[in-house]
Structure 1
Amino acid sequence: MTADSWRALLPGRRDYKNLPRTWRGDLLAGLSVGVVALPLALAFGVSSGAGAEAGLITAIVAGVVAAVFGGSHIQVSGPTGAMVVVLAPVLAQHGVSALALVTVMAGILVVAAGIARLGRLVGLIPWPVIEGFTLGIAIIIFLQQVPAAVGLAHAESGVKAWKAAIDAVIGADWGVAWHSLAIVVAVGALMRAWPRLTTAVPGAIVAIVLATVGVALLGSSVPTIGELPAGLPAPALPAWDLDTLRQLAAPAAAVAALAAIESLLSARVAHTYTDVEGADADRELVGQGLASIASGMFGGMPATGAIARTAVNVRSGARTRVSAVTHSLVLLLIVVAMSGLVARVPLGALAGVLMATAVSMVRPAVVRSVTRASRPDALLFVMTALITVSVDLIYAIVIGMAVAALFALRSVANAAGVHREELPGPSFPGDERIALLRIDGALFFGAADRVLERVARVNDVEVVILRMSQIRLLDATGAQVLGEVVSALERRGVTVLIKGVQDRHLALLEHAGTLAALADDDHLVDDLDTALERARAIVSDGMVDV
């Protein structure tokens, strides 16, 4: 890599060029996200099996490191629900003592992916898959808040968000659940109406403060955040040995894959909601990897870009990475000085903020556009969303891309074809014995047999001219099948001329034996006039012999 390439992966003054005119909004957005991130960090830490403190450490330490070193100006990083799904079985099998080492190993792998410039691979994910992922994440975020919305202090752990939501509704004590629901509705309504009054202060902060004061004045017994862990531990390198590294290699790779994919998709989705310049995918991987390494050294969890907190960040007016740094500093301040006050914030208020955020993530115009684009696009969109909600994010992305690839192959294969053309110029005796066939599109494994079968069915001719200048894609299968068709035609007494092979395809045709199947070396020609001249000469010789 060149010096400029390395420099592009590191922080610089360019990251803060807009700060003089955006600092106020960034600070307020960071305050909003910090308040919203607090219960999520605690909950994800507990549900992963690492403990509430691990979740909080991740939000604080990884949040700062990813904000400074990452490639997005508006991404907020920390523990996420998708990471919990991958991490929980690892900790159950290897114990909490493996957390730090897995986190550091995964971080190193993600940094390596960024240095190897693998971040651009996210550009291969089709638009319907990304929008389906976004819809699925929005649904999960909404469903995750249902238990708090009906007055439950803790959701059922280890189950899908949709099942936990159903169980919470069925098992709720509706004699008191309406208190939490009232808070959720009030917060959501205030957040929707507040921007019409002013954008100077984020509606989420106003809603949370008013809800907390209202609950305190009315003496309601709704669940609150509760006691917080205090302080951060000193950083330390995790203990390791070769045997442990071998045991944790596969789990660390899975964690790294999820961290990379979720972070890149989160950043890409977030930037569709704002006019802030797009994220640098490779630098984002480096930043997320460093964030996980730092988190592991402090005893935290693997970090990823968090779409829920990033969405709150964008909606609150963030424009630079200072907002994400502020979010982590707010969490640290809360831990050190304000744990008693924050403990009184009702969970219903936070649920209302996140539910409103989830609803705002679903853009009806985009949903209509992708579902009306084509049937395959609509299927990809719906399928990805359903798998994201019901199975897993990684499965949703992998399956979505696989199905998209199948659709793309089918489309390319259908575009390939064989067309019989009239011979140009004045006609000559015997021209009816010459077939001029133009092969269009792609001659690859998905279309070779079908396309060349049409060539092989040509009857009542003595010469076939194959025009190959319009072929955009040729693979080994297409070249090999083409050679078989040429041999079959030659055995039937039909001479084959190949015209207009592109230079980039010549070596492949030679290695596959296609050119060797021609009856003569001069049956490979560059232009149509030469091909017609030789074809007519062959037909003329045949007529003389007769």
Structure 2
Amino acid sequence: MSLRALLPARSDYDLRPRTFGADLVAGLTVGVVALPLALAFGVSSGVGAAAGLVTAVVAGIVAAVFGGSGVQVSGPTGAMAVVLAPVVAQHGLGSVALVTVLAGVVVLVAGALRLGRLVTFIPWPVVEGFTLGIACVIFLQQVPNAVGVPATAGLNPAVAAWRSVTAAAASADTATLWTLGAAAAVAAVMLVLQRVAPAVPASLVGVALVTVLAEALHAPVARIGALPASLPLPVLPSASAGALRDLLGSALAVAALAAIESLLSARVAATMAAGTGSVYQPDRELVGQGLASVASGLFGGMPATGAIARTAVNVRSGARTRLAAIVHALVILAVIYLATGPVGRIPLAALAGVLMVTTTRMIPARTVLRVVRASRSTAVVFAVTAVITVAFDLIEAVEIGVLVAAFFALRAVAGAAGVHREPLPGPALPGDEHVALFRLEGAMFFGAAERVLSQVSEDSRRDGVSVVVLRLSGLRMVDATGAKALAELVQELERRGVTVLVKGIKPAHLGLLRTVGVLDELRDERHLFASLDDAVEHARSHVARAAAAARPGVR
């Protein structure tokens, strides 16, 4: 791929009236849906509602222009809020800008190095387990805001949620009841409207209704607070050597999550938008997301990723080009300049209700059932990834999930590798009992080589076998360990006086087998055959010569 393919092009847009109108409608729809989510994710991350709005605007526009998906919508997400919250707790709010810019640079470099396809190596159960874990973490993080008891910084979300609930139950004062009622009311409105009027932006309606009631009744609930009435000016974050050293690990974790989530979202979006002409370029997507996070950090925002929920709304609303995502960001920008006063009066509990309902839609129950029923190993990978996501760390969850999936995959491949002793072709002849024909199949690699070849060694010890024919044409893959084990088997058999004939080495395996010494261990270079009939004929003649030499009087 050329450098030009990573940059914006005129073909990214279609300004014909019909397409332009569809993009405008889709962008307005997504902007209305994204507003409460941007506020909620900003609050949930610990950075603040204002940072959520800034990220939705700045990163939303930059990622739309430079990204590799025609319909992807980017901005603050729940997964990023989960990763960012402990960074804020440990290093303070001032660290966010530097972490955001550093993470953006890492993602940008990954795109320039053409690493976008690496996401395809993440197994399906890991993705779904990660999504379920993120949903659980986001839900637990909202519990303190929903009951009106702030969470203790640095605690696991489950522990913090439990402590907040017990503290709220112990007090059960008027403020607690109002706060809990606000969260429940928003959730109820969203669930009802989802059923009776799915086209209505339920989250916005719920938040607006609860905010109006809270204002009218002077409810004692915590609010978002003052918001800036304009975008801040871009500022380079301070980057001392000590700060870079302390925050590099956090930046790499944020970058990994940004890349993974954005590419997964873009891949899903490409499937949803099939037939619309929308393209998906993973390397360009990383470049766009990297630039988006850098820009967001300069404006005081948080790291951005592709947002699958908003992207899905965008596609379903008729988006055709990246203009829809740009319009979505401009809608939120208009709110910053025209309506920050009313937005600042939104109860935090209302945003908690929005996110609690949103998490229930992140992974449908039918998807969980499909994963669990697929196979036992798939269910284990899914469960391990989800549990580690909730209990420990998101990046560790993906890493361990991939390792567990790789273990099961290797075990399956090793189980498919085998060796079978076969009868010699054609009518049985005297002396055939001294010839053993073994067919090796599957993958001869480090996970299976010892088991497979030890079986050949043991079987060849019985029945007075003097010639072993190894049929290798059924091997699909041979690694260095498998080739070395095969050389050691030939060496052992030849040392015991058993002649080894090798048939059917594939051209792709020949160089490796020669390098590790398999062919050198054969008694004669003519013991390598392309035809099974020729190999068996040679084995029978060898047995016949040995039998004749053993008869009395034969010299």
TM-score by length of 2: 0.88
Farther-moved stretch of structure 1 (243-252 vs 382-391)? 243-252
Farther-moved stretch of structure 1 (317-326 vs 371-380)? 317-326
Distance, in Å, in 2 between the alignment partners of 1:476 and 1:347 is: 59
The aligned residue for residue 112 of structure 1 is 109
Distance, in Å, in 1 between the alignment partners of 2:343 and 2:297 is: 26
- Inter-CA distance 104–409: structure 2 relative to 1 (3 Å threshold): same
Number of positions where the alignment pairs a residue of Structure 1 with one of Structure 2: 536
**Aligned partner of residue 234 in structure 1, secondary structure:** coil
Question: Is contact 1:32-1:316 (8 Å) kept?
Answer: no
- Inter-CA distance 510–388: structure 2 relative to 1 (3 Å threshold): same
**Aligned partner of residue 163 in structure 2, secondary structure:** helix
Question: Is contact 1:155-1:168 (8 Å) kept?
Answer: yes
**Aligned partner of residue 361 in structure 2, secondary structure:** helix
The aligned residue for residue 205 of structure 2 is 206
Distance, in Å, in 1 between the alignment partners of 2:479 and 2:138 is: 45
Distance, in Å, in 2 between the alignment partners of 1:272 and 1:476 is: 39
Q: How does 1:129-144 map to 2 (within 5 A)?
A: 129-144=126-141
Question: Per-residue CA shift, 1:413-458, capped at 9, x if unaligned?
Answer: 1111110111111222211211110001010111110000011111
Identify which of 515, 521, 530 aligns with 1:517.
Answer: 521
Q: How does 1:396-545 map to 2 (within 5 A)?
A: 396-457=397-458, 458=460, 459=462, 460-545=464-549
Distance, in Å, in 2 between the alignment partners of 1:168 and 1:313 is: 36
Q: How does 1:47-126 map to 2 (within 5 A)?
A: 54-72=51-69, 73-78=71-76, 80-85=80-85, 87-88=87-88, 91=91, 96=94, 99-126=96-123
CA shift, 1:504, in A, is 0.7
AA partner of residue 193 (structure 2)? W
**Aligned partner of residue 515 in structure 1, secondary structure:** coil
CA shift, 1:336, in A, is 2.6
CA shift, 1:236, in A, is 4.3
CA shift, 1:71, in A, is 2.8
CA shift, 1:281, in A, is 2.5
Distance, in Å, in 2 between the alignment partners of 1:355 and 1:536 is: 76
Distance, in Å, in 2 between the alignment partners of 1:178 and 1:26 is: 37
List runs of 5+ in structure 2 lacking aligned partners. Answer: 551-555
**Aligned partner of residue 470 in structure 1, secondary structure:** strand
**Aligned partner of residue 441 in structure 2, secondary structure:** strand
Question: Is contact 1:71-1:282 (8 Å) kept?
Answer: yes
Question: Is contact 2:494-2:500 (8 Å) kept?
Answer: yes
Farther-moved stretch of structure 1 (19-28 vs 496-505)? 19-28
TM-score by length of 1: 0.89
AA partner of residue 261 (structure 2)? E
- Inter-CA distance 317–160: structure 2 relative to 1 (3 Å threshold): farther
Distance, in Å, in 2 between the alignment partners of 1:75 and 1:496 is: 63
CA shift, 1:245, in A, is 6.0
List runs of 5+ in structure 1 lacking aligned partners. Answer: none
Q: How does 1:137-536 map to 2 (within 5 A)?
A: 137-152=134-149, 154-172=150-168, 173-176=171-174, 177-238=176-237, 250-268=249-267, 279-306=280-307, 321-457=322-458, 458=460, 459=462, 460-536=464-540
- Inter-CA distance 324–42: structure 2 relative to 1 (3 Å threshold): farther
Question: Is contact 2:55-2:302 (8 Å) kept?
Answer: yes
Question: Per-residue CA shift, 1:1-20, capped at 9, x if unaligned?
Answer: 436xx325535444558553
Question: Is contact 2:388-2:396 (8 Å) kept?
Answer: yes
Question: Is contact 1:29-1:202 (8 Å) kept?
Answer: no
The aligned residue for residue 2 of structure 2 is 2
Distance, in Å, in 1 between the alignment partners of 2:57 and 2:387 is: 32
Distance, in Å, in 2 between the alignment partners of 1:162 and 1:13 is: 48
Distance, in Å, in 1 between the alignment partners of 2:368 and 2:338 is: 44
**Aligned partner of residue 516 in structure 1, secondary structure:** coil
- Inter-CA distance 269–136: structure 2 relative to 1 (3 Å threshold): farther
Question: Per-residue CA shift, 1:454-503, capped at 9, x if unaligned?
Answer: 11111221111101001011011111111111111111111000100000
- Inter-CA distance 160–315: structure 2 relative to 1 (3 Å threshold): farther
Asked if 1:127 corresponds to 2:128, the answer is: no
